[in-house]
Amino acid sequence: MKLNKILALILAFVMVFSFAACGNDEPAKDPENPDAPVSGDEEAAARILNVHVTAAIDSIDPHLTSAGDDFEVIGTMVEGLFLCDASGAAIPGMAESFEKSDTTWTFHLRDAKWSNGDPVTADDFVYAWQRAMALPAEYASLFETAGIKNASAIYAGEMDASELGVYAQDDKTLVVEFDVPCAFFDTLMFFPVFYPMNRAFVEECGDLYGSAPEYYLSNGPFVLTEYTPAATEFKMVKNENYYNAENIEVPGLTYKVILDSQQAYLAYQNNELDVCVLSSELADILKADSEFLATESGYLWYMSPNVSKGGAMANVNIRKAIGMAFDKEAICNNILRNGSIPADFCVPVGLATGPDGLDYRESSGITYNEYNVEEAKALWEKGLAEIGEDSVELTLIFDDEESIKLVAEFIQQQVQENLPGLTITLQPYPKKQRSDLMKAHDYDIGLCRWGPDYADPLTYMDLWTDGYTHNYGNWHSDEYMEILNKIKTVEYALDAEGRWDLIKQAEQIIADEAVILPVYQNANASLVKSDVSGIEFHAVGLNRVYNNVTFG
């Protein structure tokens, strides 16, 4: 039986089941006392928001994770210097006001508290930022990207983290010094690696920090009440110590980790979820539903060849051949069917606007690895001759999510058919295991994604710099590093047009070397209950923000 028929039968069953369940809905419970009966007006006031995530949460320590869902969860509980509004622009968070120059930003913190009643102080930022550099955190390189004084030397192991250019002038005044001015510094600040931490609390928790509610503090809208690492469900309630608590209308959130999309849809129909992430198959079937929502995403899905492993993946013509031998349009139109678009680039559409007023993608005009079977075959034969082989065997690793598995299977079938002598073995892994293998450069080729940390092409360009955690293939180019280092100098930080030209030169090198094999730019499809409003979906930084959610 074809997949669509199976889905149709499942959906028909769901409709019948949901009608039967509607008459049996239990009243909402008070999130702080779920055993107490609630009715009438109290029921509406006690309703919590039930949110679907598609993968287990690796960590709620912002220095020990690189996963987008993890950052969303962290951002629901902890707040940095800035927040982003519905349009993605930076607005004051913990920083009530600030003054800036090319070399210094001075932040004046608002009167805010941690969930244990301790005041939020400038030292909380100093401690957290130094900790991020000392570990180093997964995203410690962003301190270098931000141009903060001594961050480059610290990241290179040449200086101690205590010498980072950040200090507390007093309890409510934070001073940040720069080696190089950063035009997008404010938007970087709502990325979780820059969030504060209560020094005394974190040091007292030690290795237990982030492992359970009693080992975690919030200064943001919600506070953790039930959680264990890799839990399939965890809960939060409104943080009454949050400075803006009176404007947070949602009394609590429950995150539910559901890997199977059919199971998630059943939970949504049974009113167990208010927000449900849809697989491509369900998105295609449900796109006319009044509760269907498609949102843009800056996530770029690509294959990363392990250049450092040698053999076939070290040959640029073989890399190019593989990247051109599968139909990206077919992946988007026939597999994903959620609004995703083919990617023939390494910097997504809609990420950033340049000094010319154009989207970077329009301004750049650089495309590569476009689907072309004849050219792919020619490059393949040339590459085989260069490595002295008549066949190649590779293993493609990827996350064990159903839509990604379908994409991997499609790529496998097409490249094997179009490139004679190529054998691709598919190997799914849990997301963290796949990521760990790629960070260790222990793989052949990996299907993965990258979401932007800030609204600038550098959030992608940095991926292929020396020593960067997510330079999975361990690729190196002297020319590329020279350009990237120039981009980060004072001269080009103050020369917007010159900086943009350098970024285009860097992308051309990525294209010429086929450092990555882009597949598609993702779109997100969800169902959101009709009486839920105010969820903010963002392509940069945090995926979803719930500060302004209302019911009714």
Q: What is the 3-state secondary structure (H, E, C) of 5-74?
A: HHHHHHHHHHHHHHHHHHCCCCCCCECCECCCCCCHHHHHHHCCEEEEECCCCCCCCCCCCCCHHHHHHH
Report the pLDDT value the prediction gives residue 45, as an integer from 0 to 100. 56
Is residue 430 within 8 A of residue 400, CB to CB? The reply is yes
What single-letter amino acid sits at 340?
Answer: S
Ramachandran region of residue 157, left (φ > 0), alpha (ψ -120 to 50) or beta?
left
pLDDT of residue 24: 35
The contacts of residue 113 (CB under 8 Å, 6+ apart) are: 119, 120, 219, 241, 242, 243
The encoded tokens of residue 162 equal 């205590």
Question: Confidence band (pLDDT; 50, 70, 90) for 543?
Answer: confident
Q: How far from 143 is each of 33, 137, 139, 357, CA to CA, in Å?
A: 42, 10, 8, 27
Residue 395: how many other CB atoms lie within 10 Å: 13
Q: Residue 15's pLDDT is what? A: 40
* Cβ atoms of residues 31 and 255 within 8 Å: no
> Which helix (DSSP H) or strand (DSSP E) does residue 283 occupy?
helix 280-286
pLDDT of 476 higher than 90: yes
pLDDT for res 168: 98
Q: Please name the residues in contact with 230: beta carbons below 8 A apart, sequence gap of 6 or more.
A: 56, 57, 58
pLDDT for 468 equals 85
Across 423-450, average pLDDT? 96
Angle between helices 478-487 and 496-513 (to 10 degrees): 160
pLDDT at 34 over 90: no
83, 360, 537, 545 from 86: Cα distances, Å: 10, 22, 8, 9
How does residue 217 score in pLDDT terms, banded at 50, 70 and 90? very high
CA distance 136 to 501: 32
**Which range has the worst mean pLDDT, 11-20, 195-204, 250-259, 424-433?**
11-20
**What Cα–Cα distance (Å) separates residue 170 from each residue in 123, 135, 200?**
8, 26, 17
* Calpha distance 389→289 (Å, rounded): 53
Taking the C-alpha atoms of residue 280 and residue 474, their distance in angstroms, rounded to an integer, is 32
pLDDT at 406: 93
Q: What is the pTM of this model?
A: 0.74
**Three-class DSSP category at 172:** coil
Confirm if 511 and 365 have CB atoms less than 8 A apart.
no
> Residue 89: which pLDDT band, with cuts at 50, 70 and 90?
confident
Per-residue pLDDT, 40: 40
Q: Are strands 422-429 and 392-399 parallel, antiparallel or unpaired?
A: parallel
Q: Are 49 and 275 in contact (CB under 8 A)?
A: yes
Sequence-distant contacts of 6-14: CB under 8 A, at least 24 apart? 7/281, 7/282, 7/285, 8/285, 10/262, 11/265, 11/285, 14/265, 14/266, 14/269
277 near 53, Cβ under 8 Å? yes
Taken as a whole, the chain contains a residue count of 552
Where is pLDDT greater, at 297 or 439? 439
- For residue 498, what pLDDT is reported? 94
Is residue 407 pLDDT above 80, yes or no? yes
What does R_g of the chain's alpha carbons equal in angstroms?
A: 24
Mean pLDDT, residues 15-36: 41
Q: Measure CA 370 to chain center.
A: 25
Q: Give the distance, in angstroms, between the CA of residue 548 and the centroid of all CA atoms in the same chain.
A: 21
Residue pointed to by tokens 């499609």:
410
Share of the chain above pLDDT 90, in %: 72
25-39, 172-186, 244-258, 301-315: which has the minimum mean pLDDT? 25-39
Lowest mean pLDDT among 137-146, 147-156, 300-309, 470-479: 137-146
**Phi, psi torsion values for 100, nearest 5 degrees:** -145, 155
Is residue 399 pLDDT above 70, yes or no?
yes
CA 212, 213, 215, 218 torsion-angle sign: positive
Q: What is the mean pLDDT of residues 203-215?
A: 96
Q: What does the pLDDT average to over 459-487?
A: 93
Helices 373-387 & 402-418 angle (0-180, nearest 10) = 70
Amino acid at 146: A
Question: Which range (107-116, 344-353, 370-379) has the least confidence?
Answer: 344-353
* Residue 341, phi then psi, degrees to nearest 5: -120, 150
Query: In order of start, what are the domains of the chain with their CATH numbers?
Result: 78-211 (3.90.76.10), 297-524 (3.10.105.10)
H or E element that contains 518: strand 517-528
502 pLDDT above the threshold of 50: yes
| Contact call for residues 226 and 213 (beta carbons, < 8 A) | yes
What distance in Å separates the CA atoms of residue 503 and residue 398, rounded to the nearest whole number?
29
Q: Helix, strand or coil for residue 376?
A: helix
According to DSSP, residue 331 is labeled I
Residue 196, phi then psi, degrees to nearest 5: -80, 165
